[in-house]
Structure 1
Amino acid sequence: MKLKQLESYLGNLDQFTDPKVELEQYPTGPHIASRMLFSAENSFGDVSGKVVADFGCGCGTLGIAAALLDAEYAIGIDVDSDSLELASQNAEDLEVDMELIQCDINNLEWKGQIVDTVVMNPPFGTRKKGADLDFLKMGLKVASQAVYSFHKTSTRDHVKRTALRNFNVRSAEVLCELRFDVPQLYKFHKKKEVDIAVDLWRFVPQKNQERVAK
């Protein structure tokens, strides 16, 4: 599937109608979502034929993108039941399979099949400081191959230092810088839309787990 085709599919997904500010719910736009998954597959082979988990899946954009790129198995995890209902409907509309699990990422105790790749657009930590790194820490515990994540460009040095020093990653690489379009969703938003510079990261765990044969 070509990048523009993937972006077009994702552009048809339903988004939050009543987002929860305490969860920092912002839609992952089709432009940046498609580039994350397309890069993961075409540059590193981390999607097709892999088990891919979308942490904090929201309306399911990243997990659905993985399914569209022929992931062996796509999983969406979110603490919010309304988000999971929306993700389920979006997956059904595009006729893709994605298992959905309701769970707080911080309380996740993974006992299922080995996950090859974790993809996520974590909270940026504006409501709860360090929330983005909490997601990253758990993603690195679960992923056997790689974690792809968006983080504010302004936090680049801090993210890399924390990943290398505290999370024992083998590598932490910024693949590109993108613009995250934040629409006017909440009452405290003064502007109709704001562009935030974000980095698309690829993290590789220190010790890759062996893939369990199915």
Structure 2
Amino acid sequence: MKLKQLEGHLGSLQQFSNPKIELEQYPTGPHIASRMLYTAENSFGDVANKVVADFGCGCGTLGIAAALLGAEHVIGLDVDAQSIEIASINSEDLELDVDFVQSDVRNLRWRGPIVDTVVMNPPFGTRKKGADMDFLFAALKIASQAVYSLHKTTTRDHVKRAALRDYNAKSAEVLCELRYDVPQLYKFHKKKEVDIAVDLWRFVPQRIQGKGF
């Protein structure tokens, strides 16, 4: 599937009608989501025929992108029941077989299939400090091949240091810097939209022989 075609499919997805600020619910726009998954597949071969998990899946954009790019199996996890409902409708509308499960990724006791790749747009940690790093810690425990994640560019040094030193990542690479368009969703937003500089990261986990989850 070509990039523009993928972006078009993602642009048709239903998004939050009543987002929850405490969960930092912001839609992952089709422009960023399509490029994130397209890069994961076409530069690294981390999507097609792989088991992909979408952590904090929201309305399912990243997981659905993985399914459209030929993932063998996709699992979307989110703590919010309303998000899971919207994500399920979105996947059904595109006739995709994606499993969406209500679960807090920070408290995972994984008993599912071996996950090759985790994709995620975690909370940036503006409402709950460190939320983004909690997601990364969980993802690096589950993924066997790679983790793709978006983090504020201003946190670049901290993210890299924590991933390599504390979270047992073998490598942590910024693939590109993107402009994340945050729309005016909440009452405290004064502007119609704000662009935030974010890094698209690829982390490779350090697998420990015999370790299961």
Does TM, scored on the shorter chain, surpass 0.5?
A: yes
What's the offset of the Cα at 1:131? 0.3
Gaps of 5+ in 1: none
* Counterpart for residue 20 of structure 1: 20
Counterpart position of 1:104: 104
AA in 2 matched with 1:157: D
After TM superposition, list the pairs within 5 Å mapping 1:135-150 onto structure 2. Answer: 135-150=135-150
Counterpart position of 1:5: 5
Which deviates more, 199-208 or 136-145?
199-208
Q: Which residue of 2 aligns with 1:184?
A: 184
User: Aligned equivalents of 1:145 and 1:209: distance in 2?
Assistant: 14
| Deviation at residue 195 of structure 1 after TM alignment | 0.4
Contact persistence 1:116–1:145 (CA under 8 A): yes
Aligned match of 2:84: 84
Q: CA deviation at 1:106?
A: 1.1
Whole-angstrom CA distance in 2 between matches of 1:74 and 1:129: 29
**Aligned counterparts of 1:10 and 1:209: Cα–Cα separation in 2:** 38
Number of aligned residues: 210
Contact 1:56/1:105, CA 8 A, preserved across alignment: yes
Q: Distance in 2 between matches of 1:209 and 1:203?
A: 19
User: Structure 2 CA distance, aligned partners of 1:16 and 1:83?
Assistant: 7
Structure 1 residue runs of 4 or more that deviate by more than 2 Å after TM superposition: none
Q: Once the 2 structures are TM-superposed, how far is the Cα of residue 56 of structure 1 from its aligned partner? A: 0.3
3-state SS of the aligned residue for 2:12?
coil
Deviation at 1:208, TM superposition (A): 7.0
C-alpha distance in structure 2 between counterparts of 1:71 and 1:108, whole Å: 22
Q: Is residue 2:63 matched to residue 1:67?
A: no
**1:145-196 deviation per Cα after TM superposition (whole angstroms, max 9, x unaligned):** 0000000001001100111110111100000000100000000000000000
TM-score norm. by structure 2 comes to 0.97
Equivalent residues in 2 for 1:95-174 (5 A)? 95-174=95-174
What RMSD, in angstroms, separates the aligned Cα atoms of the two structures?
1.0
Contact 1:52 1:74 in 2 (8 A): yes
Post-superposition Cα deviations, 1:77-104, rounded to whole Å, max 9, x if no partner, equal: 0000000000000001111110011111
Matched residue of 1:44: which SS? coil
CA distance in 2, matches of 1:22, 1:54: 20
TM-score (norm: length of structure 1): 0.97
Separation (CA, whole Å) in 2 of partners of 1:83 and 1:195: 24
SS at match of 2:110: coil
Q: What SS does structure 2 have at the residue aligned with 1:145?
A: strand
Structure 2, unpaired ranges of 5+: none
In 1, Cα distance between equivalents of 2:120 and 2:158: 18
Rounded Cα–Cα distance in structure 2 between residues aligned with 1:174 and 1:38: 16
Counterparts of 2:180 and 2:95, CA distance in 1? 27
